[in-house]
Structure 1
């Protein structure tokens, strides 16, 4: 049965085992921080698969996590703001996918890892951009998140920068990210299908990795303690920088 699974996913046993561990850890981080699932998966797994193959896998993983966490996001998030971000993101995703599917895998890896490190460092530095609090800033942030989603499935990190500029409470920031990732995943599916990125192999990989992701998210939610919320983000971002940096060095030395 395991051999059939490997055939279905077009992976070796070692690759599947490594990916299982990666998505579990990423699920744990998503469960208690509300973001970074896709970023951690891509930063870690880019040495196994190119970004263009990881993006549709991450779609399934994000959707799995979002279904588990959507209730809290809908209750606490500013739904008007989230919908504005989703509109911008829906327009931006095809542009990111257009670039991802038109460049070489090596160049794509380089762009993706640099983008992840840059976004993580921006959040670690707690850089606030006042213009993001305007209407153009709202839709512009959504568009940038869509492009980032198409490039590396890291639109949630762009949205985190937007939410940071609003001086929102930690629970509202987490709720906005959760709700955006849920609704944004639904709208981005159209683009993934249109570009042929979401194929049967991607579906097989996504579904087979959904279970360890689910276990990770549930475990991460159990670990979430509100009084420690201020520490979760810097720890996750530092981990993300380390993973992306290590992958960047490895890809450049390969």
Structure 2
């Protein structure tokens, strides 16, 4: 099996542990699977090799969580965020071509870090709770995706700034990421990234990821719901800081 995946036993085991942990976080929070895998597995596989794996694992996680997400989500808001993001990705890509990758990623991560910290300090941005704020968040997510592939984190910030209950917040993120897998699939096909080895690796990592998602879903109970928002915001702060540290080293 390891020969087919072009990985050693130790590398595959470490990837499986990473995917289980990422699935656990995804099952509880509704996001961050790809961010955790990208941040943790980059020493084993290149980011380009990880992209199709993350796409497949996001699709699996979304399928496992979509039932509850579909029922509880604000579908109109999720679709608006997705469309705004899909339309604005070329804007981010345009800036990426004219600005260094390190600078664009640093700007995006610093912005997410500052906004997450302000929300942890209970400083709410009233503008985000308007229709214009919803559209702006979708466009901002698309630009952030083009700049630094952190559009999901921007949407998470928007959702967490709302007055919705934790179950609705989580459902909106689940639905947005499910819709996003459609756009990503078309992009991966266009660039020819979905090769045989990538799909074999993704298939092999499906089981540990699914177990993690299942465990994370079990943790999302009424007893833990009050902690949902601070946990997610702290996660965004942590992911942003890890990204900035990696850029600095």
Short-chain TM bin: 0.7 to 0.9
Match of 2:4 in 1: 4
CA–CA distance in structure 2, aligned partners of residues 13 and 240 of structure 1: 32
Match of 1:198 in 2: 194
Deviation at 1:63, TM superposition (A): 0.8
Report SS of the residue matched to 1:226: coil
Question: In the alignment, is the contact (CA less than 8 A) between 1:55 and 1:150 conserved in 2?
Answer: no
Match of 2:209 in 1: 213
CA–CA distance in structure 2, aligned partners of residues 116 and 62 of structure 1: 21
Q: How does 1:96-245 map to 2 (within 5 A)?
A: 96=92, 108=101, 112=105, 115-116=108-109, 118-120=111-113, 122-126=115-119, 127-150=123-146, 153-239=149-235, 241-242=237-238, 245=241
Equivalent in 88, 92, 103 of residue 92 of structure 1: 88
Q: TM-score scaled to structure 1, two decimals?
A: 0.80
Mapped pair 1:28 → 2:14? no
Equivalent in 67, 70, 75 of residue 66 of structure 2: 70
Question: In the alignment, is the contact (CA less than 8 A) between 2:89 and 2:146 conserved in 1?
Answer: yes
Deviation at 1:122, TM superposition (A): 2.4
Cα distance per residue 1:48-96 (max 9 Å; x no partner): 3443333322211111110000011111111111111111122234555
Cα distance per residue 1:129-151 (max 9 Å; x no partner): 33333334323322322343455
Change (3 A) 1:4 1:197: closer
Report SS of the residue matched to 1:227: coil
CA–CA distance in structure 1, aligned partners of residues 84 and 76 of structure 2: 13
CA–CA distance in structure 2, aligned partners of residues 137 and 39 of structure 1: 24
Range that drifts further, 124-133 or 233-242: 233-242
Range that drifts further, 170-179 or 12-21: 12-21
Mapped pair 1:54 → 2:50? yes
Q: TM-score scaled to structure 2, two decimals?
A: 0.81
Structure 1: which 5+ residue stretches go unaligned?
Answer: none
Change (3 A) 1:144 1:137: same
CA–CA distance in structure 1, aligned partners of residues 225 and 189 of structure 2: 37
Change (3 A) 1:130 1:76: same
Structure 2: which 5+ residue stretches go unaligned?
Answer: none
Change (3 A) 1:249 1:156: closer
Cα distance per residue 1:83-116 (max 9 Å; x no partner): 111111222345556777x69xxx7578557745
Range that drifts further, 238-247 or 58-67: 238-247
